[in-house]
Structure 1
Amino acid sequence: MTPEEHAAIVSLFASGDQNKTGFLKDSELAKILTNQDFSRFNSRTVRLMVRIFGNTRQGQLDFVEFCHLWQYLNEWRKVYSESDRDGSGLISYEEFRNALIRFGFRLSDKFIALLFRTFVSRIDPRTSKPAITFDMFVQACITLQRMTQFFKDADADNDGFASFSVETFMSIVLDLTIV
């Protein structure tokens, strides 16, 4: 990280840390994260990221954790921009499908359509079709990665099949949905 990048991150963190505690609560983080169209991040996406990156205090990020999150978001912005083939600033169904294929996911079109519908956040004004903003793209990818990891952990012999008790299945679903 260059000194200029570090200074920019310090400034961004400080602008969010309004009460000067040295931590960002999800509500403070939400005020400094924006999509390509400068709209604020979805609150669920923010809570999910704080939950994943916040190790110090529950529901908060310290500066080091924020730096890790910022690096992660920059990597995802690159993926998002590369996936946005038409340059609209939004991800269409086809762009989403192609991104998942590039990530190595082998999912049915039916499941990809369900996943896309779950995370649609805008109607593209140019096409009048549903689309996904950056924050919802991040949320979709994190959710898909977490689901995949839960399954891999249960698929002991890597044959693509796993057995779950009802309680284990419900615990996995709750862990994925409660943020």
Structure 2
Amino acid sequence: MAHQQQRRGEDEQDDRMIRFRRAFEERSGQDMEVDAWELLDILNTSSLQRDLHHDYFSLEACKSMVALSDEDRTGKLGFEEFMELWANICAWKGFFKRADTDSSGMISIDEMTVALTSLGFKLKNDTFRALGMRYGNKENNLSLASFIHVAIRVRFMYNIFASKSRSGNTRFNLEELLMVHFYS
């Protein structure tokens, strides 16, 4: 009985992957890669939309998503890169939902701080406040789309720092700093 349930779960997962790949192929065009504009279309018409409470991902957020996942720096995501991004989005969505204790579709800076800290990002309170002011609404509250954008930007910066860090310190020349800032 357990073996049959396991097999059924694997078949459902295989079917889901086939449908996911088919949807990716339909939207990615001839090159079989998605750029930020195609990603914007995918995300704003996906199953995530019901969780966005009439919010949408911005083109800027999609450009950051591509930058985070674009390992070969082509400005586009192949299927494997896209799958990794999708897994991250689903994980971030889970952290957001746990932080959104009143199910309003918005989280405060304090809730964002808890969620980002749970993701392993240890930042000073001033930095969390700056993120809330930069990516939040007028009241500094963040929607799911805004929270994902923040998580992407912070993760990208963490990754860059880790790749250049020696004993917790790093140096960037101006060109490197500009590159990190503009392609994130």
TM-score (norm 2): 0.73
- The aligned counterpart of 2:111 is 95
- The aligned counterpart of 1:6 is 17
Alignment of 1:25-64 (within 5 A): 25-34=35-44, 35=49, 36-55=52-71, 58-64=74-80
Higher share in helix: 2
Equivalent position to 1:177, from 175, 179, 182: 182
- The aligned counterpart of 2:156 is 146
Alignment check: 8 A CA contact 1:150 1:172 kept: no
Equivalent position to 2:101, from 80, 85, 101: 85
| CA distance 1:155–1:38, shift in 2 (3 Å) | same
3-state DSSP of counterpart to 1:58: coil
Alignment check: 8 A CA contact 2:34 2:78 kept: yes
TM-score (norm 1): 0.75
- C-alpha distance after superposition, 1:87-138 (max 9, x if no partner): 1122221211211332344433222111211111x45xxxxx3321223222
- TM-aligned CA deviation for residue 169 of structure 1: 5.5
Structure 1 segments unaligned to the other structure (5+ residues): 124-128
Letter in 2 for 1:177: F
2:165 and 2:69 map into 1 onto residues whose CA distance is: 26
- TM-aligned CA deviation for residue 15 of structure 1: 4.0
Structure 2 segments unaligned to the other structure (5+ residues): 1-9
Q: How large is the Cα RMSD of the aligned pairs?
A: 2.7
Equivalent position to 1:168, from 152, 160, 173: 173
The structure showing larger relative contact order (alpha-carbon pairs under 8 Å, at least 6 residues apart) is 2
| CA distance 1:88–1:8, shift in 2 (3 Å) | farther
2:100 and 2:59 map into 1 onto residues whose CA distance is: 23
Letter in 1 for 2:94: K
- The aligned counterpart of 1:126 is none
| CA distance 1:99–1:170, shift in 2 (3 Å) | farther
Letter in 1 for 2:53: D
1:106 and 1:26 map into 2 onto residues whose CA distance is: 29
- C-alpha distance after superposition, 1:121-172 (max 9, x if no partner): x45xxxxx332122322221222233334444555234xxx364xx625622
Is 2:148 the counterpart of 1:132? no
| CA distance 1:152–1:13, shift in 2 (3 Å) | closer
Percent identical = 20
2:23 and 2:43 map into 1 onto residues whose CA distance is: 10
